[in-house]
C-alpha cells in the first residue's frame, strides 16, 4: 500500500544504517550511501513534480466448486502494471499477491498506468484476466474462479431497492455455471454467492455464453464474436513495427530462431486481454484487435483479441464448446457461431461457410503475428495478410 512520503525520516534511517553495519563484504558506505542517494533522488522528483496520485485497488476473490462457495484464502492474484504511449513506456515485473482469509488483496497503482489482474487457486480454473486504467481514487475489483472445464455461463442480476429514493438503490451481478444449458436453473446454483442482506432482490438469470476454464487462463465465448470476413492484423504503416512491452520470439526473422521453441512460446501466451490493451494503447491502426475490442457486447464485459495460447485452448476444446453453442442455437439464441469441426468420418466441416484461420494478439517478430488454424496449426504470418477474428470475453460484472 501507498505510504506517506517522509524524506527526513528516511535520511535518518540511512544514517543509522551507515553507522550500524559492520564492514564485511558490504560496507556501511555502500548500504547507507545507496539508501541516502535514493532518498535524495526521490525527494527531488517529489519536490519537482509533486506526489504522483495513485488508485487504491481492492481485489476480492470469490471461488465456486461448481455449485457452492469455497474458500479463496491463499489465492494468488497476478498483477501486471504497465504504461504504453507515454513516458516512460514501461512494464513492471509481474507480482504475485496472496489473498487473506477473506480472499482479499489490496495495492496501489500510479495514475496513468494500466494494470491487469487475475486470480489463481489450486484445483480450480483461473479467473478472467481484467484490465483497467488507474485513474480513480479507489476501485473495487471482484474476480471469480470456477472449476476447470467447459461450461454454460450465465449470470444473475441482484438489486437493493429502497423506499428512500434511487440514491439508495444499487445493483450487482453474480456468474454461475452449469455443465450444459438448462431450461430451468435451480435457485441454489444461480444464487450461490448472493449476499441476501446487501442484495435481497433477484432480477432473474440468463445465459450469456460458454466459459472455457483452465488453470492458467479463463475466457468466455459469446454472441457475435466471429468477424463477417477476413481482415489484416494492422494497417501497412505498422506492419513492420516493433510494439513496446510485447514479448517477441525474435526481433526480425532473418535472425537465428528455433521454430519449435517459437511455437512453444506462442502456445504458452495466455495474456490476450493484456496484449490487446497494449496493442491498442500503442496505435489505433490494429484492425484485428480493434474489431475484437469493439465487437457487439454488453457493458459488463471486456472483449479482446485472444492470444495464440488461448486460441489453441479453444481449438482443443472445440467439441465441448460446440455442444453448448448448439444448445443455445437450438433454443433460438441468435448470434452464436459454431467452431469448424470434424464429422464422424474425420472430414472438416465449415458451419460458417469458410475454413477459418484466426488472428491472435501474440506477435512473432517485427513483421509477423501468430495465427491458429481451425485444424490446430499455429503459424506466423505477415500482418497485412488477411485472416479471421474470433473475439473472446472477460466479464467484470460491474453495473
Per-residue pLDDT of the chain (399 residues; tens, 9 = 90+): 445 556 676 666 666 655 655 455 555 555 556 555 655 655 565 565 567 899 999 999 999 998 899 999 999 999 999 998 766 788 899 999 999 999 999 999 999 999 999 999 999 999 999 999 999 999 999 999 999 999 999 999 888 777 666 566 777 889 999 999 999 999 999 998 888 787 888 888 999 999 999 999 999 999 999 999 999 999 877 777 877 777 777 666 556 568 889 999 999 999 999 999 999 998 877 899 999 999 877 878 999 999 999 999 999 999 999 999 999 999 999 999 999 999 999 999 999 999 999 999 999 988 899 999 999 999 999 999 999 999 999 999 887
Please state, in angstroms and rounded to a whole number, the distance separating the CA atoms of residues 126 and 145: 6
Q: Grid coordinates standing for 349?
A: 466441416
Provide the pLDDT for residue 135. 96
**Radius of gyration for the chain, computed over Cα atoms and rounded to the nearest angstrom:** 24
Nearest CA among 13, 146, 130 for reference residue 70:
146
Q: What is the 3-state secondary structure (H, E, C) of the chain?
A: CCCCCCHHHHHHHHHHHHHHCCCCCCCHHHHHHHHHHHHHHHHHHHHHHCCCCEEEEEEEEEEECCCCEECCCCCEEEEEEEECCCCCCEECCCEEEECCCCCEEEEEEECCCEEEEEEECCCCCCCECEEEECCCCEEEEEEEECCCEEEEEEEEEEEECCCCCHHHCEEEEEEEEECCCCCCCCHHHHCCCCCCCCCCEEEEEEEEEEEEECCCCEEEECCCCECCCCECCCCHHHCCCCCCCCCCCCCCCCCCCCHHHHHHHHHHCCCHHHHHHHHHHHCCCCHHHHHHHHCCCCCCEEEECCCHHHHHHHHHCHHHHHHHHHHHHHCCCCCCCCCCEECCCCCEECCCCCCCEEEEEEECCCCEEEEEECCCCEEEEECCCCEECECEEEECCCC
Provide the pLDDT for residue 1. 47
Provide the pLDDT for residue 128. 99
Contact 105, 87 (CB under 8 A): no
Model pTM score: 0.85
Peptide bond into 88 cis (omega under 30): yes
Which residue(s) pair with 78 in the sheet? 96, 118
- Sequence-separated (6 or more) residues with CB below 8 Å from residue 71: 63, 103
User: In Å, how far from its chain's centre is CA 36?
Assistant: 39
Helices 28-49 and 7-20, interaxial angle, to 10°?
170
Please state, in angstroms and rounded to a whole number, the distance separating the CA atoms of residues 340 and 388: 12
**Kind of pairing between the strands at 138-145 and 54-64:** parallel
* Phi/psi at 261 (5° precision): -65, -35
* Cell 480450480 found at: 124
Please state, in angstroms and rounded to a whole number, the distance separating the CA atoms of residues 393 and 202: 24
Provide the pLDDT for residue 159. 83
Nearest CA among 274, 3, 272, 242 for reference residue 113:
274
- Sequence-separated (6 or more) residues with CB below 8 Å from residue 62: 69, 72, 103, 142, 143, 144, 145, 193
Provide the pLDDT for residue 99. 99
**Kind of pairing between the strands at 69-70 and 54-64:** antiparallel
C-alpha dist (Å) from residue 54 to 84, 119, 132, 266: 17, 22, 13, 34
Q: Grid coordinates standing for 269?
A: 501466451
Please state, in angstroms and rounded to a whole number, the distance separating the CA atoms of residues 27 and 122: 44
Provide the pLDDT for residue 52. 85
Amino acid at each position: 500500500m501507498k505510504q506517506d512520503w517522509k524524506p527526513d525520516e528516511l535520511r535518518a534511517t540511512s544514517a543509522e544504517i551507515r553507522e550500524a553495519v559492520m564492514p564485511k563484504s558490504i560496507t556501511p558506505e555502500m548500504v547507507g550511501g545507496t539508501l541516502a542517494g535514493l532518498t535524495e533522488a526521490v525527494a527531488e522528483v517529489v519536490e519537482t513534480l509533486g506526489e504522483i496520485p495513485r488508485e487504491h485497488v481492492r481485489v476480492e476473490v470469490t471461488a465456486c466448486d461448481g455449485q457452492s462457495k469455497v474458500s479463496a484464502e491463499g489465492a494468488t492474484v497476478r498483477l501486471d502494471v504497465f504504461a504504453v504511449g507515454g513516458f516512460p513506456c514501461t512494464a513492471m515485473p509481474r507480482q504475485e499477491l496472496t489473498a487473506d482469509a477473506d480472499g482479499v488483496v489490496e495495492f496501489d497503482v500510479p495514475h496513468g498506468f494500466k494494470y491487469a489482474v487475475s486470480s489463481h487457486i489450486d484445483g480450480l480454473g483461473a479467473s478472467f484476466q481484467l484490465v483497467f486504467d488507474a485513474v480513480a481514487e479507489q476501485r473495487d475489483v471482484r474476480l471469480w474462479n470456477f472449476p476447470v472445464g467447459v461450461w454454460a455461463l450465465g449470470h444473475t442480476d441482484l438489486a437493493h431497492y429502497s423506499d428512500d429514493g434511487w440514491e439508495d438503490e444499487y445493483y450487482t451481478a453474480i456468474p454461475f455455471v452449469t455443465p450444459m444449458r438448462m431450461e430451468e436453473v435451480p435457485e441454489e446454483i444461480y444464487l450461490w454467492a448472493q449476499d441476501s442482506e446487501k442484495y435481497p432482490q433477484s432480477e432473474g438469470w440468463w445465459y450469456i455464453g460458454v466459459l472455457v476454464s483452465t488453470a492458467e487462463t479463463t475466457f468466455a465465448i459469446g454472441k457475435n464474436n466471429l468477424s463477417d470476413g477476413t481482415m489484416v492484423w494492422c494497417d501497412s504503416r505498422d506492419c513492420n513495427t516493433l510494439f513496446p512491452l510485447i514479448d517477441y520470439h525474435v526481433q526480425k526473422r532473418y535472425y537465428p530462431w528455433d521454430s519449435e521453441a517459437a511455437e512453444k512460446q506462442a502456445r504458452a501466451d495466455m495474456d490476450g486481454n493484456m496484449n490487446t490493451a497494449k496493442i491498442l494503447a500503442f496505435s489505433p491502426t490494429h484492425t484485428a484487435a480493434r474489431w475484437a475490442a469493439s465487437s457487439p457486447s454488453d457493458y459488463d464485459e471486456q472483449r479482446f483479441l485472444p492470444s495464440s495460447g488461448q486460441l489453441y485452448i479453444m481449438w482443443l476444446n472445440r467439441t465441448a464448446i460446440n455442444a453448448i453453442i448448439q444448445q443455445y442455437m437450438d433454443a433460438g439464441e441468435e448470434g452464436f457461431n459454431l467452431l469448424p469441426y470434424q464429422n464422424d468420418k474425420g472430414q472438416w466441416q465449415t458451419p460458417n461457410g469458410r475454413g477459418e484461420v484466426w488472428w491472435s494478439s501474440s506477435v512473432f517478430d517485427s513483421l509477423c503475428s501468430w495465427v491458429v488454424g481451425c485444424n490446430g496449426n499455429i503459424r506466423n504470418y505477415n500482418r497485412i495478410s488477411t485472416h479471421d477474428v474470433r473475439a473472446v470475453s472477460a466479464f467484470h460484472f460491474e453495473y
